[in-house]
Structure 1
Amino acid sequence: MITVEHLTKRYGAQLAVSDVSFSCAPGTVTGFLGPNGAGKSTTLRAVCGLTLPTSGTATVGGRPYRELPNAGRHVGVLLDAGAQHSGRTGREALTLAALVQGVPRTRVDEVLEHVGLAGKPAGKRVGKYSLGMRQRLGLAMALLGDPQVLILDEPANGLDPDGIFWMRGLLRGFADRGGTVLLSSHLLREVEAVADQLVVIAGGRIVAQGSSAELLASTGSLVRARDSAALTAALTAAGIGAVPGLADGLVADAPAEAVGLAAATAGVALLELRPAGGDRLEELFRSLTGPSAGTSPTTATQIQETRA
């Protein structure tokens, strides 16, 4: 269980995160999303004991990370795949970590096999690894202590499509066995495919959180016109709410028929009109983190009410 309560972090006059609260339960994958500079990395570093909060708390299993005995046996962390000694081989890096954690050396071979680095890649120096191989080694390091919790920042960077599919299965299997996964990634489709819960942060504040099923449920329409201002005015006149969508489009809180009728009545020519849902997480992400997004936290229930 990961619990973040009213976490705030300041760097001098700069407010990096403000009053951030969320939790990640065992048996689930939580997608932690936000644009660059939103406060994701600061929050993850606070959870992992690398950054001391100005106020608030972050705990794993009810205890701050720094107070966990032999933390690697409880929490597997991957925040930077490049943070490995480039002169060591993959096997040497894992063997050293196994000695520190008190893990049997046989576990090294197990995780190397698990992440696809067994055999020749294990004897290759880390400095010669591709980015994808470094990510696999980082995942092996996180899994080495057989932890109950995984905290991963952009673990799919550098992985090819097969590698991303493999990682999705690895995380899903870990959670299905009762593990807790906190996953930060800019690959929204992959997060949508694996996450049970979503937490969205923007400007250092949580702007939405809830189950993926609830947050991504869509009853609206994606609509796009050459004259976006005229389209917005037409929808407003018809009493239809809308938020920014993809490719300069809008996600309207109404069926396609009602949206089309409103546009036709106002004489607005449409370039695209279809049910929302093909890119549900991207649409949600842009609506919550774009320039016109509000700053008040949103729950799954509130999103559903606005769509009703």
Structure 2
Amino acid sequence: MIAVEHLSKRYGRHAAVEDVSFVCEPGTVTGFLGPNGAGKSTTMRMICGLTPPSSGGATVCGVGYRHLPNPGRQVGVLLDAAAQHAGRTGREALTLSAQLIGVDRRAVEEKLDLVGLNAVAAKRRVRAYSLGMRQRLGLAQALLGDPRVLILDEPANGLDPEGIYWMRGLLREFADRGGTVLLSSHLLREVEAVADQLVVIGRGRVVARGSKRELLAGAGTLVRARDPQTLAGALRRAGLAVTAATDGALTVPADAGAVGQVAADAGVALLELRPAGGGGLEQMFLTLTAGDSVKEAVR
């Protein structure tokens, strides 16, 4: 299990992560979502003990990551597929990792086969690998010690559609065997297909968390109008909160009947009126993170 409690990280006056809390249970895949610079990678680095938090903390398997006696045998981590020795072959990289964590060398060939790196690819230098091949090698390293927990930051980057489908099945099978997966990704449809729980972060803070069903059911009403500014003003005067998405739609935490009545009273023509959850995870994400900066946080 992964438990994050009131985790914060500040760089001078800039708050990269602010009071983030969530739990990833065994047997589940947790999708960790947010725009660029929202604090996802910083949070994951703090969970793995690579970045010291300003306050709060995180535990993996009941203790802080740095206190795990042999973390590679309990937690598989992939935070940056490019952070691999370019001069080694894929097999050499895995063999050294196996020696480091005390795994039988036979596991190297098993994991290479599992992630789809054949004998030719295994003998190739990492510098010649495509991004997708580096992702597969990084996954093989994460899985090498047969861990109970996986922490993966954008692992689908560089994979083709077939590779993404394969990874989705791999993570689903891992969780179904009782494993815990924390997965960050900007590929929202793929996260929606595999995740059991979602944590959405914006500007360093958690803006939503829960199951897909819970979050999508509570998304309110999505409305589009010929004159969105007039409609937004009318809704606010009626005491309804309004969130403007980047695509021009408005989301209101009220039922469609109430929104439609306000529009009718204001004489505003509507182009679309439906439950916001009908747009799926992508629409919910755009609504929750509307207006957030897409600039990378200062590291």
Normalised to the residue count of structure 1, the TM-score between the two structures is 0.87
Q: Is 1:251–1:283's contact at 8 Å kept on the other side of the alignment?
A: no
Give, in angstroms, the shift of residue 221 of structure 1: 3.6
| Cross-structure match for 2:35 | 35
SS class of match (1:247): coil
1:107 and 2:107 matched? yes
Contact 2:90 2:125 in 1 (8 A): yes
| 1:81 maps to amino acid | A
1:197/1:106 Cα in 2 relative to 1: closer, same or farther (>3 Å)?
Answer: same
Letter in 1 for 2:205: R
Q: Structure 1 residue 241: deviation in Å?
A: 4.8
Aligned length: 292
Deviation (angstroms), 1:261: 5.0
Q: Which residue number corresponds to residue 124 of structure 1?
A: 124
Question: 1:239-260: CA deviations, max 9, x gaps?
Answer: 6554334621112445556544
**Structure 1 residues 116 and 250, CA gap change in structure 2 (3 angstroms):** same
Where in structure 2 are the equivalents of 1:84-103 lying within 5 Å?
Answer: 84-103=84-103
Q: What residue number does 2:141 align with? A: 141
Q: 1:120 deviation in Å? A: 1.6
Name 1:66's counterpart in structure 2. Answer: 66
Structure 1 unmatched ranges of 5 or more:
293-308
Superposed displacement of residue 112, structure 1: 0.9
Alignment-derived partner of residue 190 in structure 1: 190
SS of 2:135 mapped into structure 1 = helix
Asked if 1 retains the 8 angstrom alpha-carbon contact of 2:2 and 2:24, the reply is yes
Q: Distance in 1 between matches of 2:194 and 2:165?
A: 10
TM-aligned CA deviation for residue 31 of structure 1? 1.1
Structure 2 distance, partners of 1:266, 1:88, is: 67
Amino acid aligned to 1:243: T
- Match of residue 217 from structure 1: 217
Q: Equivalent residue for 1:168?
A: 168
Q: Write the deviation string for residues 31-75 of structure 1: whole angstroms up to 9, x where unpaired.
A: 111222221111111110101112221111111111111110000
Confirm or deny: 8 A CA contact 2:30 2:195 kept in the other structure. yes
Q: Give yes or no for contact 1:29–1:181 (8 Å, CA) kept in 2.
A: yes
The farther-off stretch of 9-18 and 59-68 is: 9-18
The residue type equivalent to 1:206 in the other structure is V
Give the TM-score normalised by the residue count of structure 2: 0.90
> Percent sequence identity over matched residues?
70
Pick which of 189-198 and 228-237 moved more: 228-237
Report the more deviating stretch, 217-226 or 117-126: 217-226
Alignment pair present for 1:51 and 2:51: yes
Counterpart for residue 305 of structure 1: none
